[in-house]
Amino acid sequence: MPKTTIDAAGSPLIRLKGAVQQYPWGRTGSASLAARLAPNAVGPEFKLDEKESYAEVWMGTHKNGPAHLYKTPSTSLQSIILTDPARLLGAPVHDKWPDTPQVPFLFKILSIEKALPLQAHPDKSLGERLKKEKPDLAPDANHKPEIAVAIGKPLPGEDADISFTGFVGFKPLEEIAANLKDVRELRDAISDRAAVDTFVHSPSREGLKKVYAALLTHGAEGKAKAHVEALAQRVKEGAKAVEGLNETQARLVRKVTEQYPGDVGVFATTFFMNFVTLKRGEAIYIGADEVHAYLEGDIIECMAVSDNVLNSAFAPPEEIKQQVPIFLEMLTYTARPASHWALPVKPYAHSLQRRTSAYDPPLEEFTVLGTSLRPGPGGVGGDGRRERLGAVGGPTIGIVTRGKVRVSAGGDALDLEEGGIVYVVPGNEVQVELLQPDGDGEGEVWWAACVA
């Protein structure tokens, strides 16, 4: 019988206490997946308030929401790592980043009710510069590329099986030019008629940069509000009044305006950016300096360890005024169809019973894994309740999102209900067993791993 009393100093498994983050865009009360997972993710001291927004669960060593040991909450995961970083991070990770002995990724659950700020994350060089010159804008000298995997239930008002929506990257240039030609309020909000005309007749990356800068700058100055409100009123009046907009655009203008009335972000997202929809299990990858604004749904998110973000809309005016100039300068202005940001799912090479899929971005810091379990036959060996994950050279963090699961390694075991979080020390094969499925007959564990 496996041991179940875990000694953090020497065990291959450490149960963690994550951190809940409350932001205004999070889902409210028990509607939030972050809140529903919190009793096991952060412990019995979590008290749900049905009037509060619960946006994220953080799992990692970042100082803005560090994980602690579940049974001894006064002890941080980071402090344990510092006692023996070569073992607890793995020699490959420790050797690669010897000056920053920390988990190289930040793993999260997000539960989104309304649009996040229109944002981008600085690359390493800009992050290093901002940390020195404007540490209030960039607390970390690191980049923050990220992935998002949809894990929630289908959203009301969307096509069947769509469980996440968001704005990601710029649309193809020709589509943006068509919107500028068709929507008079958008042209009026930009106000630079010469830049608009040049871009409409000859779309280019430099032209996009000029018109987008004019739009967001006017927004930061409060000069776009009346034009956003004018279009919102047209949309409200019905189909005949909405000349120049297709059905999806009209719906998005209405939806985002209800959340942020008069905000220039209504224009900056709907008419410039790709509207992305994901079914459960589908994913996107967003590199550094790429514009995005998630809109609705429950997701797994993982990123290189950083909390750097610059906002340009859907945020307090004083914050916008300070950040818009840097935001506009840092963007890549990559203009592609939504498929450009899709991250394919593939079989995980270290999944010994074929119950785990991998989301592998072009990064050194992490791979995201999803393990699906269910009673009955399935995978290699014919038992859908069990999975074995081969040892990897870097740290792994897992969270149970469906059912009750036993995680075992090196003779130790943890029984985890939904929200339970585990840290796996590098070099250990992990066995996963479904003890009790959820109401849909499923078990599910999501992992972030540095597969060094």
Task: Pick out the residues of the known binding site for Zn(2+).
Answer: 119, 121, 146, 292
Residues 6+ apart with CB under 8 A from 127: 138, 140, 141, 142, 143, 144, 306, 308
DSSP 3: B
**Cα separation of 370 and 357, whole Å?**
5
For CA atoms 313, 318, 321, 327, give the dihedral sign: negative
CA dihedral 137, 139, 145, 146 (to 10 degrees): -100
Give the residue among 141, 111, 102 at the shortest CA–CA distance from 123: 141
Residues 6+ apart with CB under 8 A from 355: 371, 372, 373, 378, 379, 384, 386, 387, 432
For CA atoms 410, 412, 416, 421, give the dihedral sign: negative
Residues 6+ apart with CB under 8 A from 411: 2, 3
Give the burial class of 132: count Cβ atoms within 10 A of its Cβ; 0-12 exposed, 13-18 middle, 19 or more buried.
exposed
DSSP 262: T
Tokens of 213: 């800068």
Tokens of 374: 């269910």
**Cα separation of 444 and 452, whole Å?**
24
Give the burial class of 193: count Cβ atoms within 10 A of its Cβ; 0-12 exposed, 13-18 middle, 19 or more buried.
exposed
